Amino acid sequence: MTRFIVRRILSMIVVLFAISVLTFLIFQVIPNGDPAVRLGGRNSTPETRQAISKDWGFDKPIYEQYGITMKKIFTGTVVSYSQQINVLDEIKRDLPATFSLAIGAGIIWLAFGILFGVISAVRAGRFTDTSLTVVALIGVSTPVFLLGALVLWAFAYKLQIFPAGGYVKLSSDPWGWFTHMILPWFVLSVLFIGFYSRVLRSNILDTINEDYVRTARAKGLSERRILIHHVLRNSLIPVVSLWGLDFAAVIGGGAILTETVFNLGGVGQYAATSIEQLDVPPVLVITMLGAFFVVVLSAVVDVIYALLDPRIRLSG
Amino acid sequence: MRGEERNVVSPEGIPTGPTWTGKFFLGADSNGRDVAVRLLYGGRNSLEIGFIATAISVILATIIALVSGYFRGAIDGVLSRTMDLIWAYPVILLGIALGTALSLGGLDFGLFTVSGSSLFIPAIIIGVVYVPYMAKPLRGQVLGIREKEFVEAARAQGAGNLRILSQEVLPNVASSIIVFIPLMIANAILLEAALSFLGAGVQPPNPSWGTMIGDGIRLIPSAMHLTLIPGGMLVLAVLGINVFGDGVRDALDPRAEVRIEH
C-alpha cells in the first residue's frame, strides 16, 4: 500500500511536470504570441513592450521563464497576462460551478449508464436491447454543444421551463441552482450514458458465460441475485475505472463545451477564454489541475477495487 | 427556376429560413450566404478533415505501436511516456491549445509550410491528439505477438526485424487497426466540429459543419434552421459511420474501445 501510494505520487509529479512543459512550449513556439503585446495592448510602443518584457522576464531564456512561472504558481501569486488577475483566485471562483456540473452529471451518467447497460444485456437481442442500442448510438454521435443548443431552445426559449444558462450559487438559492444545473447535467451525461451502457452490456454478456455464473445458477440462486452479486460485481470494474477518469477530466476543465453552451462560468470555460487570448498562466494551472485530478481519482478507483475484489493487487 | 426574388434575410438582419426553391434552397445565414452551398462545401471540409486526421492517427499509431512493442527497451520507454503524456492531457484542451496556437502561426516543416488558415492544421492536430488512443492498445497486442512461436520461427529462418514486423506482426494486428478506423473517423469529425465551434478549428470564411453550427447557435431563438441543418447532417454522418463501425467490429470482433471526448 505504501509502495503503491509512493509510486503514484512519483508518477503524478512526472506527469504534472511534463504537462506543464508541454503547455508552456505550445504557447511559446507560436510566432506572434509575444505576451508583451497582450499585456501592453496592440497600440503600445516598442519601449513599453520592452519594459514589460523586462518586468515579466519574457526576455529571459525559455527554461528560466518556465521556472519563474512555476514558482509563481506554487507560491499562489500567478496572474493572468490578459487581465492580470490572480489565476488561483479566479479558478477558486469558478470551481463551484464545475464541481456542481461534474458531481450531478457524474451521478446521472453512472446511474443511467448502469441501468441501460443492465437492461440491454438482460434483454440482449430483443426489441428493448435494439432500441437502447440505437438510442446509445445517437447519443454518442451527437456533439454536446449541438445537443445543449437544442435543449436550451426547447426548454428555455419555447417551453420556458428552465432558465437559459448561467450559474446560481447553491448557498444563495438552492432551487435556482438546481433549475440552472438540470439541463447541463443531462446534456453532459447523454454521451457518457451511451458509451457506458455499451461497455457494460458487452461486459455483462462476457461474464454471463463464466463457470461461476453457471455454478450459481446450479445452486438455485435467483436470477436477480446472480445478476447483482455475481455478474455485476465483476462487469462493473471497467465502467467504474472509466468513470473515475471521465469524472476527473470534467473537473479538470474537460467539460468546456457544456460549460460554454450553458455559460456556467466554470473552469473549462475559463480555460477556453484563456486559450483564445493566448493567456498561458491560466491554461497551465488548469491543465495541471486536470492532470492532478485524473491521477488522484484513478488511484482512488484502484484502491476501491482492490478493497472490493481480493483478486486485484495494487501495482504502480 | 427564375421565381420571384424573396428576402432570405429580414431587414433586421435575421435569416428567414429555407425557400425550398432552387436558389437559397435552405435559406441564407446572417451574412446572406446560401446555406445549402455552405452545407455541401462544409460537409466536404468536415469529412476531409475526419479522413485525413484518421489517416495521420492510424499511420503514426501503427508505427509507434510496432516499434515500441516489438523493440521494447529505451525506445519503448520514450514512446510510451510520450503517449501517456498526450493521454493525460484532456483531448479538447490540447486540441484548442494547438488549434489556437497554430491557426495564428501556421506550421513550418522546413520542406513545405502550412498556412494558419489551411484545413490541414485541424486535420494534423486531431490526428496527433488521437494517436495514443490507438497506439496504446495496439502496443499491448504487439507485446503479446512478439512472444509467439511463429515470430520465433521466422527469426530462426533468418528473417530480419523489418520482415518480421511487416510479414508476421502487422498482419496479426491488422483486424484491430481496421476496427479502429471507423471509430477514429467518427471521433475526428466530432472533434473537428467541437474545435470549429470554439473557433480553434476550421478558420472562417472556410465553412465546416462545426463552424456553421457555431454561427447558428448565436441566432438560436430566431433562426433555428442555421443550427438544425448542419447539426442534422453532422449527426447523420457520424451516426452512419458509427453504425458501419459497429458492423465492422461485429465482423472482426477484437475487444477494441476508443475513449471519447466530452
Whether residue B142 is contained in a domain is answered as: yes
Which residues in chain B are contacts of A140 at CB distance < 8 A? 242, 260
Q: In the 3-class helix/strand/coil scheme, how is B150-176 assigned residue by residue?
A: HHHHHHHCCCCHHHHHHHHHHHHHHHH
Contact: A19, B200; criterion CB under 8 Å:
no
Quick check: B256 pLDDT over 60?
Answer: no
Quick check: B5 pLDDT over 70?
Answer: no
Contact: B199, A276; criterion CB under 8 Å:
yes
pLDDT digits (tens, 9 = 90+) for A204-258: 988 888 888 899 999 999 988 998 888 888 888 888 888 888 888 888 777 889 9
pLDDT at A296: 82
Quick check: B2 pLDDT over 50?
Answer: no
Whether residue B77 is contained in a domain is answered as: yes
Whether residue B8 is contained in a domain is answered as: no
* Min distance A220 CA to chain B CA atoms (Å): 32
Which residues in chain B are contacts of A27 at CB distance < 8 A? 97, 101
Asked if residue A196 lies in contact with residue A239, where contact means CB atoms within 8 angstroms, the answer is: yes
Whether residue B3 is contained in a domain is answered as: no
- Tell me, yes or no, if A316 comes closer than 8 A to chain B by beta carbon: no
Whether residue B223 is contained in a domain is answered as: yes
What cell does B199 get?
Answer: 473557433
* Min distance A45 CA to chain B CA atoms (Å): 22
- Tell me, yes or no, if A25 comes closer than 8 A to chain B by beta carbon: no
* Min distance B241 CA to chain A CA atoms (Å): 9
- Return the closest-CA partner of residue A263 out of A131, A163, A193: A163
- Return the closest-CA partner of residue B180 out of B262, B256, B67: B256
Average pLDDT over residues A71-85: 84
Contact: B93, A142; criterion CB under 8 Å:
no
Contact: A146, B199; criterion CB under 8 Å:
no
Looking at per-residue pLDDT, the higher value among A315 and A36 belongs to: A36
Asked if residue B204 lies in contact with residue B211, where contact means CB atoms within 8 angstroms, the answer is: yes
- What is the model's pTM? 0.86
Which of A141, A251, A278 best tests the B interface by mutation, with the highest count of B CBs <10 A?
A: A141
Looking at per-residue pLDDT, the higher value among A310 and B168 belongs to: B168
Quick check: B64 pLDDT over 90?
Answer: yes
pLDDT at A33: 58
**Domain CATH number, residue B175:** 1.10.3720.10
pLDDT band at A34 (very low <50, low <70, confident <90, very high): low
Average pLDDT over residues A93-107: 93
pLDDT at B249: 81
Quick check: B61 pLDDT over 90?
Answer: yes
Contact: B235, A18; criterion CB under 8 Å:
no
pLDDT band at B65 (very low <50, low <70, confident <90, very high): very high
Quick check: A314 pLDDT over 70?
Answer: no
**What's the total number of domains in chain B?**
1
Contact: B105, A257; criterion CB under 8 Å:
no
Quick check: A265 pLDDT over 70?
Answer: yes
Complex ipTM: 0.83
Quick check: A20 pLDDT over 50?
Answer: yes
Contact: B90, A252; criterion CB under 8 Å:
yes
pLDDT at B261: 42
What is the extent of the structural domain holding B41?
18-252
pLDDT at B60: 96
pLDDT band at B34 (very low <50, low <70, confident <90, very high): confident
What cell does A175 get?
Answer: 432551487
- Return the closest-CA partner of residue B59 out of B187, B194, B170, B191: B170
Instruction: Name the residue facing B193 among A143, A255, A272 (closest C-beta).
Output: A143
DSSP per-residue letters across chain B:
-------SB-TTS-B-----SSTTTT-B-TT--BHHHHHHHHHHHHHHHHHHHHHHHHHHHHHHHHHHHHH-HHHHHHHHHHHHHHHHS-HHHHHHHHHHHHHHH-EE-SS-EE-TT-THHHHHHHHHHTHHHHHHHHHHHHHHHTTSHHHHHHHHTT--HHHIIIIIIHHHHHHHHHHHHHHHHHHHHHHHHHHHHTTSSSPTTS--HHHHHHHHHTTTTT-THHHHHHHHHHHHHHHHHHHHHHHHHHHH----------
Asked if residue A108 lies in contact with residue A189, where contact means CB atoms within 8 angstroms, the answer is: yes
pLDDT band at A170 (very low <50, low <70, confident <90, very high): confident
Instruction: Name the residue facing B242 among A27, A33, A141 (closest C-beta).
Output: A141
Instruction: Name the residue facing A287 among B89, B238, B259 (closest C-beta).
Output: B89
Contact: B89, A143; criterion CB under 8 Å:
no
Looking at per-residue pLDDT, the higher value among B65 and B15 belongs to: B65
